[in-house]
Amino acid sequence: DTGVSQDPRHKITKRGQNVTFRCDPISEHNRLYWYRQTLGQGPEFLTYFQNEAQLEKSRLLSDRFSAERPKGSFSTLEIQRTEQGDSAMYLCASSPGGAGKNIQYFGAGTRLSVL
Amino acid sequence: AQKVTQAQTEISVVEKEDVTLDCVYETRDTTYYLFWYKQPPSGELVFLIRRNSFDEQNEISGRYSWNFQKSTSSFNFTITASQVVDSAVYFCALSGYSGGYQKVTFGTGTKLQVIP
């Protein structure tokens, strides 16, 4: 049983560029979540999917951010026209259905640095 | 609105000492879940425990124990006989009925350093 996988682990980009991150959840987990974590803070919820449906988006998710989960398996998070304030760790998590449906299992994250 | 407060930013203990990490929460939901996660230097958040608001029984798992007190809105975490491998940032978290139990609110974390 492999865990949540995120790619890339690190991304350095110049301000104004677009970046895309990928998350592969634990197989058979139908819920997938994106969080952002800045230094010295806890993760902040961004959005979550149940299968391919995006059910909730935080107000933190500006128009420059878009997330997709087209086939209900992997997900992508795209940031357009990156800003220095977007520098953070982006965490993905997944959870199963049933009794354990709200226990979220996290990946190692993608660390974004915007220069 | 939900809020989780971890007032201890950093704690240092000598190996084999016991240590308690404090967590206080706020929620208007009558049903909710509380969690603890561990984030080692590698960065991956590791799930430790989930408790629901109806179950105030304390729990022990090896060297770890949790004390849930609804009356004081606290969910404290104790590590007995700490080890160097316990060094990490520990997060307390909450998800409530109003968020469908899916939107998790994390505290700011407590960094634990266990000195050999």
Each residue's pLDDT tens digit, A31-74: 999 999 999 999 999 999 999 999 989 988 889 999 999 988 99
- Bond prior to A8 in cis (omega within 30° of 0): yes
- Residue A51 Cα, gap to closest chain B Cα (Å): 14
pLDDT of A99 reads 66
Q: How confident is the model at residue B8 (pLDDT cuts 50, 70, 90)?
A: very high
Q: How crowded is residue A27: how many other Cβ atoms within 10 Å of its Cβ?
A: 9
**With 90 as the cut, is the pLDDT of residue B98 above it?**
no
User: Running DSSP on this structure, what letter comes out for residue A100?
Assistant: G
Taking a C-beta distance cutoff of 8 angstroms, is the pair B4, B110 a contact? no
**With 70 as the cut, is the pLDDT of residue A1 above it?**
no
Taking a C-beta distance cutoff of 8 angstroms, is the pair B81, B63 a contact? yes
Picking from B15-29, B65-79, B94-108, which range would have the lowest pLDDT averaged per residue? Answer: B94-108
Q: How confident is the model at residue A28 (pLDDT cuts 50, 70, 90)?
A: confident
Top pLDDT among B59 and A107 is at A107
Using alpha carbons, select from B26, B29, B30 the residue that is nearest to residue B93. Answer: B26
Which residue type occupies A82?
T
Top pLDDT among B1 and B3 is at B3
Chain A hits for B45, Cβ within 8 Å: 43, 91, 93, 106
Q: How far apart are CA A62 and CA A57, in angstroms?
A: 10
**With 60 as the cut, is the pLDDT of residue A80 above it?**
yes
Half-sphere exposure of B27 (CA within 13 A, CB side): 27
Chain A hits for B46, Cβ within 8 Å: 106
Q: What percent of chain B has pLDDT over 70?
A: 100
Mean pLDDT along residues A96-111: 86
Q: How far apart are CA B95 and CA B97, in angstroms?
A: 7
**With 90 as the cut, is the pLDDT of residue A115 above it?**
yes
**With 70 as the cut, is the pLDDT of residue B57 above it?**
yes
Mean pLDDT along residues B16-28: 97
pLDDT of B43 reads 86
Interface of B with A in 51-80 (CB under 8 A): none
Mean pLDDT along residues A64-88: 95
- Residue B116 Cα, gap to closest chain A Cα (Å): 24
B91·A42 Cβ contact <8 A = yes
pLDDT of B102 reads 84
User: What are the distances in angstroms from CA A77 to CA A19, A74, A80, A108?
Assistant: 8, 10, 10, 15
Evaluate the CA torsion angle A102, A29, A111, A53 in order and state its sign: negative
**With 90 as the cut, is the pLDDT of residue B24 above it?**
yes
Find the CB nearest B44 among A31, A101, A108: A108
- Cα maximum dimension of chain B: 44
Burial readout B76-94 (b: 16 or more C-beta within 10 A, e: otherwise): bbbbeebeeebbbbbbbbb
